[in-house]
Amino acid sequence: MRNTIVLVRADNFHKASVALADLVRYGGMRILGDPRIIPPALSEWAFEKISSEKPRKKFKAHVVAQIDLSPKKAIGRLTDIHPPAHVLVIPSDTEVWEELMRLWGTFEKLRGFYPPKRTKAEELRKEREKKTDGVWELEEF
């Protein structure tokens, strides 16, 4: 299966890392492998190809990551969480996806990004599991 790619454009790499963590924590996405840093020119080309418009703002940090969701689900979840950076979903049936995957091994890994331990979806699932027969069980600390 071909993984969907997300392109994160931010003012700095810390904000890009926070946006990726938000995709995991609040969007219920799983990042596969290590996010990679891409050149600004490639990022702008990808943005133009996918959105059919020129970027209005220049960003300093450009990061791509593979995720475990279909493009449709990823876009739906992105609209719900509003990450602190510009995030673009790149479907696997596009020319942009092909080019990014061809160059993937040449991109530098994003250092300092560690996905959160527990996602919001996992927390909700755990909360539902604690509820039994309409009675909440006390959680031991």
Q: Does any domain span residue 35?
A: yes
Give mean pLDDT, residues 73-95: 88
Angle at 115 between CA 32 and CA 7, to 5 degrees: 55
Q: Does any domain span residue 118?
A: yes
Give the domain range for residue 98. 4-135
For the cut 60, the answer to whether the pLDDT of residue 138 exceeds it is: no
| Sign of the dihedral defined by the CA atoms of residues 89, 112, 11, 18, in that order | positive
Q: What is the pLDDT of residues 28-42, one digit of tens each?
A: 889 999 999 999 999
Question: What local confidence, expressed as pLDDT, does residue 38 receive?
Answer: 97
For the cut 90, the answer to whether the pLDDT of residue 90 exceeds it is: yes
Tokens of 137: 């069980």
For the cut 80, the answer to whether the pLDDT of residue 137 exceeds it is: no
State how far the Cα of 21 lies from the Cα of 76, in Å rounded to an integer. Answer: 17
Tell me the backbone φ, ψ of residue 120, rounded to 5 degrees.
-60, -40
Q: What is the pLDDT of residues 40-75, one digit of tens each?
A: 999 999 999 999 999 889 999 999 999 999 999 999
For the cut 90, the answer to whether the pLDDT of residue 94 exceeds it is: yes
Q: Does any domain span residue 141?
A: no
Q: Does any domain span residue 72?
A: yes
Q: Does any domain span residue 140?
A: no
Q: Does any domain span residue 59?
A: yes
Query: Which domain CATH number covers 48?
Result: 3.30.70
State how far the Cα of 96 lies from the Cα of 79, in Å rounded to an integer. Answer: 22
Q: Does any domain span residue 29?
A: yes
Sequence length of the chain is 141
DSSP string computed for 74-123: HHHHHHHH--SSEEEEE-TTSHHHHHHHHHGGGSEE-TT----SS-HHHH
pTM exceeding 0.75 = yes
Tally of domains in the chain = 1
Q: Does any domain span residue 79?
A: yes
Element (H, E) at 1: none
